[in-house]
Amino acid sequence: MNQEFLDKLVQTLGKDTVIVEPAEVEPWLTDWRGVYKGGAQAVVRPASTRQVADCLRLCNEYRVPVVPRGGNTGLCGGATPDASPANVVLSLDRMNSIRSIDTIANTLVADAGCILGNLRRAAQDAGRMLPLSLAAEDSSQIGGNIATNAGGVNVVRYGMARELVLGIEAVLPNGDIFNGLQTLRKDNTGYDLKQLFIGSEGTLGVVTGVALKLYPSAQVRSVVLAAVNSPRQALELLRLVYGACGARLQAFEFFTDECLSLVLAQVEGMQQPFDERHGGYVLIELADTADEAALQALLEDVIGRALEQGLCQDAAVSASLAQLQALWRLREEISEAQRADGPHLKHDISLPIERIPEFIETAERRLRTVSPDCRLFIFGHFGDGNLHYNVSRPEGADKGWAKEWEGRIADTVFAEVAEYGGSISAEHGIGQLKRHAFHHHKDSMQIRLMLQIKQIFDPNSIMNPGKLL
């Protein structure tokens, strides 16, 4: 602990902004899964961009490492400090104001500490939609979503967080403020520097504000849960649905029967969707701005054709909002069911969409040579090629299995991903979980360029040490 630094920090920002008591700092040192725990001499909770700048300027002057923290919903330990007691955890939770909503330009400008779900509801109240949507949206903060380039369930229609960002305000490690909070749709004046902050995981600076695109409110929604016998059949169903429904296709989610069994066992109030069990399930959502009857008829028609063509074995179409939400819960509760079951080895990967079924087959064969009795829980966003390929301990094994086997299992999965030209991180980022694999699998020239960019932005290497680079 550097007392001179702490005294200046408190003097500059105020006692209400800086937490130094060890018992009060302690809750900020662990990720939500309880996998990572670090150290810190202080937690700083600024209320303005100016206070963020003052904090970073002091940290840079004293070479104090800074760990930006959003809603603490990440799965890779990217917002959890390392073991150094010198760290300062920087939380933007007090910066939670919506600065503007424009329903002509269709933009929303907000502080980085705003909860994603609150932004989605504010857009809805204004008659618009913010399409970024994920299971943790009522806890995650938009700054963290941007820093990790979050994905979610609507990527097939609207793209990743990167595609939704018009402008960014950020503070550099030396305290300079990057004033890029524009809402322009077109700006062809050189390098698009805001893109460097998106997906940078807090290693280049701290995002303090964001300007986002809004879309027409697609309140008319229709959902079907289709039972399939294999991932290959699920992709044939995707081909049919996308061709028939086009831009109305908002989500195309796949999960295996093992995932369904886990949800039924671990989550209260869940009901089996079909009389018989099947190899897998696809949750399809269509959305539009008007004519609920027409949308429902379109979905029923395409599913009817799918049943006739043998592209699914059974289907349950939502007839009410309650049924729609119940069908979505079967997919959304998988992560919580895994948490209740015990430690799972999570692999957030992306693949060429047409090769997903083949990968699932060959990856399992490869894994069985390493751990014959491990349990596989596979689900994800089939429409955009993103699989959550999760591995858990064999039946009856101790919960310590995950920690013991983590390295061997990850190496096996990532090696197979590389064979297919995929990515070891689709939407969760690198953090500290995948740092070694990132440097092993990423092209060496790209790593070199990233390091050079890091040196320009953060020459003293104070930003989020031990993450990404």
pLDDT tens readout for residues 403-434: 899 999 999 999 999 999 999 998 888 999 88
Beta strands in 122-248 (DSSP E): 128-129, 165-171, 177-180, 206-213, 215-216, 220-228
Res 59: pLDDT = 98
Q: What are phi and psi of 271, to 5 degrees?
A: -120, 145
Nearest to 260 by CA among 249, 248, 276, 244: 276
Confidence label for 72 from pLDDT (cuts 50, 70 and 90): very high
Query: What CA–CA distance (Å, rounded) separates 152 from 106?
Result: 21
Contact 31, 74 (CB under 8 A): yes
Q: Provide the mean pLDDT of the chain.
A: 94
Mean pLDDT of 34-59: 96
Q: What are phi and psi of 261, to 5 degrees?
A: -60, -40
Confidence label for 97 from pLDDT (cuts 50, 70 and 90): very high
Res 188: pLDDT = 92
Res 305: pLDDT = 96
Mean pLDDT of 34-47: 94
Beta bridge partners, 19, equal: 43
Q: What are phi and psi of 401, to 5 degrees?
A: -55, -40
Query: What CA–CA distance (Å, rounded) separates 98 from 90?
Result: 20
The answer on pLDDT for 153 being more than 90 is no
Query: In this structure, what token pair is assigned to residue 335?
Result: 């992560």
Confidence label for 76 from pLDDT (cuts 50, 70 and 90): confident
Mean pLDDT of 125-134: 94
The answer on pLDDT for 1 being more than 80 is no
Mean pLDDT of 149-170: 94
* All domains in the chain, ordered by first residue: 98-216 (3.30.465.10), 220-335 (3.30.70.2190), 342-428 (3.30.70.2740)
Nearest to 110 by CA among 172, 165, 177: 165
Q: What are phi and psi of 459, to 5 degrees?
A: -65, -25
pLDDT digits (tens, 9 = 90+) for 312-349: 999 999 988 899 999 999 999 998 899 889 888 999 99
Res 53: pLDDT = 98
Query: What CA–CA distance (Å, rounded) separates 431 from 39?
Result: 16
Percent of the chain with pLDDT over 70: 100
Query: In this structure, what token pair is assigned to residue 159?
Result: 């793209």
- Helices 292-308 and 231-245: crossing angle, nearest 10°? 140
Res 291: pLDDT = 84
- Taking the CB of residue 159, how many other CB atoms lie within 10 A of it? 15
Q: Enter the DSSP assignment of 27.
A: G
